[in-house]
Structure 1
Amino acid sequence: MAKNIQAVFVDRDGTIGGSDSVVYPGEFTLFPFASESIKLLKNDNKMVLSFTNQPGISKGEAKREEFEKELIEFGFDKVYMCPHQHHEDCNCRKPSTGMLLQAAKEYSLDLEHCVVIGDRWTDIMAANEVGCIKIIVQTGAGKESIQKYNNKEYYGVWAKVEPDYIAENLLDAVHWLLKWRGEKC
């Protein structure tokens, strides 16, 4: 694993707050540890990038600008968001890698020196495809995703991918990442 982490991609719903379903801006509440987690990463000079599927945008239920404004206010450096629904066959909706590849191109990132933190196996799959460090949290849909993995409910390539770390929550994930790098939190 790379010790020189260039960027950390963090999922929104279930990872930094909300629940295992989409909560729209204005109603979304951060977990108590989310702000501290983002600050720890930024204090360590890490670019913190949002990495989120938001199909409500294409349904007309919310606006992209509302999500972007909210996430920037939470401390993210840049927002990468897929506004498409499952059936729209785009290349950005996780587990596809479009958002990660776009960020890599824009910031000249080596994705093998980046981290993805999320609560769904789709986050882990996208990270795996491009060589990122993979951390799944047990908040949001995380416990259910981990249970499905442990019960061998995922098939094919989904079953062959393992997270690098299973974290209690985002703060635990950040602490692990910083300690793993040999730094004190």
Structure 2
Amino acid sequence: MKLLILDRDGVINYDSDAYIKTLEEWVPIPGSVEAIAQLSKAGWTVAVATNQSGIARGYYPLTTLEAMHARLRELVAEQGGVVGHIVYCPHGPDEGCDCRKPKPGMLRAIAEYYQVNLEGVWFVGDSSGDLQAALAVGAQPVLVKTGKGERTLEKGVPQNTLIFDDLAAIARALI
């Protein structure tokens, strides 16, 4: 199985320090939906692992998050692709869960879902927490410069991190 795991906010859609709280605020980064569809059509399984502490903070309900993910699936399907398993952490940063990145719980859940080892599997994110989660499970950390990616890059990234401009550039590299 060719598995690619993506963070959501800042990788697939625009991010906001004020959180993405409504379906209207969930806006794909240009080329990201097409990239997921192209990868899917080329035999890649594209899964998503996303921190969504806005749920714990009361900024939006689970139904809104589900609507955002349904919209993502719909847009990718319109391009002939499929979005794989989507996992999210609804907890706040102080709840002590194992799923909130940089902890690796969501990546482990994806590995369990697909019955695969994550050694060398690319995990694409825009934050140091994403890169740390990848390293914790032996996955290949991949940074995109979209979202918080430029800021993350300025602070320094793990030595073996792959760096791309955006998700479309990753699709071009993998296909």
Runs of 4+ in 1 over 4 A off after TM superposition: none
* TM-score between the two structures when normalised by the length of structure 2: 0.86
Q: Is the 8 A contact 1:119 1:139 kept in 2?
A: yes
Q: Which runs of 5+ in 2 are unaligned?
A: 74-82
Identity of aligned residues (%): 30
C-alpha offsets along residues 94-152 of structure 1, whole Å, 9 cap, x if unaligned? 01000011111121011015221111011111011111122100011000000011xxx
| Cα separation, partners in 2 of 1:162 and 1:63, compared to 1, 3 Å | farther
What amino acid sits opposite 1:32 in the alignment? P
What amino acid sits opposite 1:8 in the alignment? L
| Cα separation, partners in 2 of 1:45 and 1:82, compared to 1, 3 Å | same
Q: How many residues align?
A: 164
Matched, 1:6 2:13: no
Q: Is the 8 A contact 1:6 1:113 kept in 2?
A: no
* Residues in 2 aligned to 1:98 and 1:126: alpha-carbon distance in whole angstroms: 8
Partner of residue 54, structure 1: 52
| Structure 1 residue 68: Cα displacement | 3.0
Secondary structure, counterpart of 2:5 in structure 1: strand
Secondary structure, counterpart of 2:20 in structure 1: coil
| Cα separation, partners in 2 of 1:47 and 1:6, compared to 1, 3 Å | same
What amino acid sits opposite 2:10 in the alignment? G
What amino acid sits opposite 1:65 in the alignment? T
What amino acid sits opposite 2:63 in the alignment? E
Q: Is the 8 A contact 2:26 2:68 kept in 1?
A: no
Secondary structure, counterpart of 1:49 in structure 2: strand
Partner of residue 78, structure 2: none
After superposition, the CA RMSD in angstroms is 1.7
* TM-score between the two structures when normalised by the length of structure 1: 0.82
C-alpha offsets along residues 65-114 of structure 1, whole Å, 9 cap, x if unaligned? 32233224313222110111111111000010000111111210110152
1:19-168 paired onto structure 2 within 5 Å: 19-21=15-17, 22-26=19-23, 27-75=25-73, 76-149=83-156, 161-168=158-165
| Structure 1 residue 164: Cα displacement | 3.3
Quick check: 32-41 or 107-116, which moved more? 107-116
Partner of residue 80, structure 2: none
Residue in structure 1 matching 2:13, options 14, 17, 25: 17
Secondary structure, counterpart of 1:87 in structure 2: coil
Q: Which runs of 5+ in 1 are unaligned?
A: 150-158, 179-185
